[in-house]
């Protein structure tokens, strides 16, 4: 039997773990011939279908999730039309809810799996061509039977999680991406009503020794970034500490972790503070800084503890902490979102991600949408369109605010000046947002330079006291000294003053100097550039 896996990703940077995770469990089964067609959602559909067709598979399998949903169906429907004898099966988060309508509407799909596939997919492969007799016994499988009845076999959960063969053992594991994902835990202790992991119980873990072996393998492949899939990383502070001790053995890897700021013990805080710089990159789940919103979302953890923990994490200089907010959560008003962005900027969050709530299949919030007064898109990505607390227009403003944050606060070059403007001027975010919307640039991709020009121009008109800081950020990013943000910079034949206060670097005569005056009395900033090497950022900075 020939099984074709369609690996459809949203971009080349991403790679799904589903195929290697499943294949690793049955790689030795010689009755299955595995092949794969890999593509991104932006590729020509006809070309992907052609590749599938040439393989002439018996089974076409794929994972369906929010961002590949539409293209995946376009591809597999065409493949099935060309290969009517083939059996199309899908799995993934899109099938965590009720699958009856989907199967009735998409007759070219023979069955879908709800839940975790590593144990049940191999079982199904043994009976794939006996739907009448045997599909009923496969947990998690949903399908329309021969009498046209919808059959729903519940949800599949892997019970022997620690015994699974790791995805890295599969020949389909993709080692060519900038990072790899390492799943150390499955399930989450928390009960957030908007999250698919909120109902993922029980929590199952992999022993530390097995993680060590896998990290050795990952390290040997020269991987520099590992995304640790562990929804409960610091739920158990003792295990978290043990994991951090393990990570220390791989100082050339950066570990990306999700951390719950409300659950940081004193010991763990101490441990985090002494880790080598750059070893960790943290995503702190916060969602909203309003107690009522978190309670309505059934998120466990005291808000005061979460705020204190987040403040602590953001203050650590040896790691970067990103924080996220979710617009569209019930009880969350637009004005509160603005307030929360201000607070996160005050804490010094390394990034502020503002997402829109999506009501995902299988989540409690989707089931209770009506009761909670949430209207949402019936099509992927199921984004919230309006709630009792936030209007259609306001959600659009939140989307624009998210664009502003990504373009300015979340961009290292513009972060410091944007943070200062937010913290020192209560109206800045609103005014700058209006400006970006009115000039019709908010939804356009803008280069780093263009963003600098826009910010400089805006400050010139509205916040002239901050022009010098924008100019400094511009110069330090190595951008052209011939453009507006550097208009006050003197570049020709600059000689060092009698004294200056060095901020970084050391002065040598062969540095090319430029001077940014801040007043008429020769106060200002000096920058030195290497004239021989092609480095465009200054290597020296001083002030007079």
Which spans of this chain sit near ligand SF4 (rule: CB under 6 A)? 188, 190, 192, 195, 197-198, 231, 285, 299
Which residue's CB is nearer to ligand SF4, number 303 or number 404?
A: 303
Which residue's CB is nearer to ligand SF4, number 201 or number 523?
A: 201
CB of residue 233 to ligand SF4, shortest distance in Å: 10
Q: Which of 385, 366, 395 is nearest to 94 (CA)?
A: 366
Q: What's the gap between Cα 540 and its chain centre?
A: 35
Which residue's CB is nearer to ligand SF4, number 40 or number 236?
A: 236
Which residue's CB is nearer to ligand SF4, number 6 or number 284?
A: 284
CB of residue 358 to ligand SF4, shortest distance in Å: 12
Which residue's CB is nearer to ligand SF4, number 192 or number 329?
A: 192
- Integer Cα distance of 142 and 6 in angstroms: 20
Which residue's CB is nearer to ligand SF4, number 285 or number 524?
A: 285
Which residue's CB is nearer to ligand SF4, number 319 or number 326?
A: 326
CB of residue 318 to ligand SF4, shortest distance in Å: 24
CB of residue 223 to ligand SF4, shortest distance in Å: 24
CB of residue 293 to ligand SF4, shortest distance in Å: 13
CB of residue 195 to ligand SF4, shortest distance in Å: 3
Which residue's CB is nearer to ligand SF4, number 35 or number 307?
A: 307
Cα–Cα distances in Å, from 125 out to 60, 117, 205, 486?
12, 11, 27, 65
Which residue's CB is nearer to ligand SF4, number 135 or number 233?
A: 233
Q: Using CB atoms within 10 A of its CB, is residue 297 exposed (0-12), middle (13-18) or buried (19+)?
A: buried
- Integer Cα distance of 542 and 494 in angstroms: 13
Which residue's CB is nearer to ligand SF4, number 184 or number 190?
A: 190
Q: Which of 252, 63, 90 is nearest to 172 (CA)?
A: 63
Q: Which of 367, 329, 315 is nearest to 96 (CA)?
A: 367
CB of residue 190 to ligand SF4, shortest distance in Å: 4
CB of residue 294 to ligand SF4, shortest distance in Å: 10
CA angle 496, 500, 501 (to 5 degrees): 140
Which residue's CB is nearer to ligand SF4, number 38 or number 232?
A: 232
CB of residue 298 to ligand SF4, shortest distance in Å: 9
CB of residue 320 to ligand SF4, shortest distance in Å: 19
- Integer Cα distance of 355 and 382 in angstroms: 13
Which residue's CB is nearer to ligand SF4, number 185 or number 413?
A: 185
Tokens standing for 383?
A: 């984004």
Decide: 337 and 327 in contact? Cβ < 8 Å.
yes
Q: Which of 243, 257, 260 is nearest to 301 (CA)?
A: 260
Residue reference for tokens 């829109």: 356
CB of residue 278 to ligand SF4, shortest distance in Å: 24
Decide: 70 and 10 in contact? Cβ < 8 Å.
no
Diameter of the chain measured on Cα atoms: 93
Which residue's CB is nearer to ligand SF4, number 308 or number 449?
A: 308
Positive or negative: CA dihedral 513, 518, 522, 524: negative
- Integer Cα distance of 106 and 117 in angstroms: 21
Cα–Cα distances in Å, from 133 out to 26, 111, 399, 402?
23, 15, 50, 52
CB of residue 334 to ligand SF4, shortest distance in Å: 22
- Integer Cα distance of 81 and 86 in angstroms: 9
Residues 6+ apart with CB under 8 A from 136: 151, 153
- Integer Cα distance of 406 and 401 in angstroms: 9
Decide: 317 and 353 in contact? Cβ < 8 Å.
no
- Integer Cα distance of 99 and 141 in angstroms: 10
Decide: 62 and 6 in contact? Cβ < 8 Å.
yes
CB of residue 271 to ligand SF4, shortest distance in Å: 21
Which residue's CB is nearer to ligand SF4, number 68 or number 190?
A: 190
Q: What is the CA radius of gyration of the chain?
A: 27
- Integer Cα distance of 295 and 329 in angstroms: 11
CB of residue 286 to ligand SF4, shortest distance in Å: 10
- Integer Cα distance of 201 and 187 in angstroms: 5
Using DSSP's 3-state secondary structure scheme, residue 356 falls into strand
Decide: 300 and 338 in contact? Cβ < 8 Å.
no
């Amino acid at each position: 039997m020939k099984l074709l896996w369609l690996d459809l990703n949203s971009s080349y940077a991403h790679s799904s773990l589903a195929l290697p995770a499943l294949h690793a469990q049955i790689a030795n089964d010689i009755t299955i011939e595995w092949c794969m067609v890999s593509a991104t959602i932006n590729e020509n559909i006809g070309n992907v279908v052609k590749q599938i067709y040439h393989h002439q598979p018996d089974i076409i399998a794929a994972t369906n999730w929010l961002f590949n949903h539409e293209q995946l169906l376009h591809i597999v429907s065409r493949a099935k039309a060309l290969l009517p004898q083939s059996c199309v099966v899908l799995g993934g988060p899109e099938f965590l809810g009720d699958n009856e309508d989907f199967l009735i509407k998409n007759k070219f799909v023979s069955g879908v799996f709800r839940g975790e596939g590593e144990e049940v997919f191999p079982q199904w492969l043994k009976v794939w061509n006996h739907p009448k007799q045997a599909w009923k016994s496969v947990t998690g499988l949903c399908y329309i039977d021969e009498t046209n009845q919808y059959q729903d076999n519940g949800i599949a959960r892997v019970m022997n999680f620690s015994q699974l063969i790791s995805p890295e053992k599969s020949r389909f594991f993709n080692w060519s991406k900038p990072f790899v994902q390492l799943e150390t835990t499955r399930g989450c202790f928390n009960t957030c009503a908007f999250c698919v992991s909120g109902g993922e119980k029980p929590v199952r873990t992999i022993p530390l020794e097995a993680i060590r072996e896998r990290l050795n393998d990952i390290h040997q492949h020269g991987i520099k970034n590992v995304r640790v899939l562990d929804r409960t990383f610091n739920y158990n502070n003792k295990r978290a500490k043990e994991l951090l001790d393990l990570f220390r053995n791989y100082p050339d890897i950066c570990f990306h972790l999700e951390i719950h700021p409300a659950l940081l013990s004193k010991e763990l805080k101490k441990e985090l503070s002494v880790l080598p710089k750059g070893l960790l990159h943290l995503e702190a789940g916060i969602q909203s800084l309003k107690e009522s919103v978190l309670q309505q979302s059934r998120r466990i953890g005291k808000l005061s503890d979460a705020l204190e923990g987040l403040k602590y994490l953001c203050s650590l200089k040896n790691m970067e902490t990103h924080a996220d907010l979710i617009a569209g959560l019930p009880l969350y008003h637009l004005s509160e979102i603005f307030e929360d962005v201000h607070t996160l900027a005050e804490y010094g969050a390394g990034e502020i991600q503002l997402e829109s709530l999506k009501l995902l299949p299988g989540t409690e919030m989707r089931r209770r949408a009506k009761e909670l007064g949430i209207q949402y898109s019936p099509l992927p990505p199921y984004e919230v369109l309006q709630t009792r607390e936030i209007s259609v227009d306001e959600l659009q403003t939140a989307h624009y605010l998210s664009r502003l944050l990504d373009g300015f606060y979340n961009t290292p070059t513009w972060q410091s000046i944007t943070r200062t403007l937010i913290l020192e001027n209560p109206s800045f975010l609103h005014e700058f947002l209006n400006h970006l919307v009115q000039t019709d640039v908010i939804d356009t991709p803008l280069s780093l330079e263009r963003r600098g020009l826009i910010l400089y121009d805006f400050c010139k008109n509205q916040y002239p006291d901050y022009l010098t800081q924008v100019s400094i950020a511009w110069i330090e990013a190595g951008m052209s000294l011939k453009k507006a943000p550097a208009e006050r910079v003197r570049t020709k034949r600059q000689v060092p003053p009698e004294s200056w206060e060095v901020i970084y670097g050391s002065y040598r005569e062969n540095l090319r100097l430029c001077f940014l005056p801040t007043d008429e009395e020769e106060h200002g900033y000096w920058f030195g550039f290497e004239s021989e090497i092609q480095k465009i950022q200054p290597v020296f900075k001083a002030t007079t």
